[in-house]
Structure 1
Amino acid sequence: MCRSILMLLIAMWILIGPASSQPLFEDSKAFDPSSETAMAITGPVILSTKRMVFETGRFLDLEVHDPKSSGNWGASGDVPVAQVFRVSGDAGPLRQGNTLCGDQPVTYMATWSEDSSGFTYLGVAMFTGMEPPAGIAGQALCATYFFSMDVPE
């Protein structure tokens, strides 16, 4: 009996995946920047599976491409799963006139959660190009941003 329950739990974990593989949901949530790149370029953001809104009021529309994309994600490349989104729109200049990917349009975005130094962070990677990303080591990676997952609502 215990073995059957254990096998069922393992099967559910494999099918559903870890909770950290899906840091964004349909409901919008605010995130404060925690990396220097996010502080300098995006500032605080509001994110959902449909849109990323910046403090300037500009936004990117998102469409889920792969809710559980296997690959090498995270700051060190050791996060196994991320959400990948197709991106439409152009956020244009953000903080201090900076843009998300220089003069290249953002075509895909990946998000994941990871723990570091006792804190949980939202990682966001921006990509250019037509091919969906399979990790942060891809040539189409143009920027990574990290945000605090613990913003009071």
Structure 2
Amino acid sequence: MPSLKYALVALFLAAGPALADDLAALSTTASSITGDISFDDYEIVFGNGEKLVFEDLIADHFTVDGKDVPASVYSVKGAQNPELLNGNRLCGESPVTYVASWLDGDVTMLAVFETPEAPESSDGMCALYTYVYP
């Protein structure tokens, strides 16, 4: 009979990666640029199938309007700038370097950055997109 330790390791390996959250675009900006998205700890898949791949989760909190909130802040792998709906891009012509996500009630907030340094607050974002669970 295997020990509990080995059983837990087997269960962890069988579980695989985290499941993606499917989110519906709420704001006009999200509806016209990203469409609905699928979001997990590895990437965002946009409404047109384009992806933004993350390198690392770099923080678990973030400052919004002067308040510290639980959040996920990701570095983007290779600073990407995918073409999205209607030829739009997340930050215009500049590649995205970081993404921060947090909840505001039932709304998922997604801030994107084109900065060389990791953001600690929403102050330097180039765009903000909002989503809800469908």
TM-score range, shorter chain: 0.7 to 0.9
Structure 1: gaps (5+ residues): 1-24
RMSD value, Cα? 1.8
> Which AA in structure 2 matches 1:81?
P
- Selected match of 2:76 from 87, 103, 106: 87
How far has the Cα of 1:41 moved from its partner?
0.4
Normalising by the residue count of structure 2, what TM-score does the alignment of the two structures yield? 0.79
2:88 pairs with one of 93, 98, 103: 98
For normalisation by structure 1, the TM-score amounts to: 0.69
How many residues are treated as equivalent by the alignment? 117
1:27 CA drift (Å): 1.3
Looking at structure 2, the residues matched to 64 and 137 of structure 1 have their Cα atoms a distance apart, in angstroms, of: 21
2:13 aligns with: none
Task: Provide the rounded CA distance (Å) in 1 between the counterparts of 2:58 and 2:82.
Answer: 25
Unaligned runs of 5+ in 2: 1-16
Query: Does residue 1:130 correspond to 2:130, yes or no?
Result: no
Counterpart residue identity of residue 73, structure 2: V
Inter-CA distance 38–121: structure 2 relative to 1 (3 Å threshold)? same
Distance in structure 2 (CA, Å) of the matches to 1:54 and 1:40: 11
Q: Which has the higher strand share?
A: 2
Alignment of 1:32-111 (within 5 A): 32-69=24-61, 71-73=62-64, 76=65, 78=67, 80-88=69-77, 90-111=80-101
Report the Cα distance in structure 2 between the residues aligned to 1:26 and 1:137, rounded to whole angstroms.
29
> What is the one-letter code of the residue matched to 2:70?
V
Q: Please give the secondary structure, in 2, of the residue aligned with 1:107.
A: strand
Counterpart Cα distance in 1 of 2:131 and 2:75: 20
**2:116 alignment partner AA:** M
Secondary structure class of the residue paired with 1:129: coil
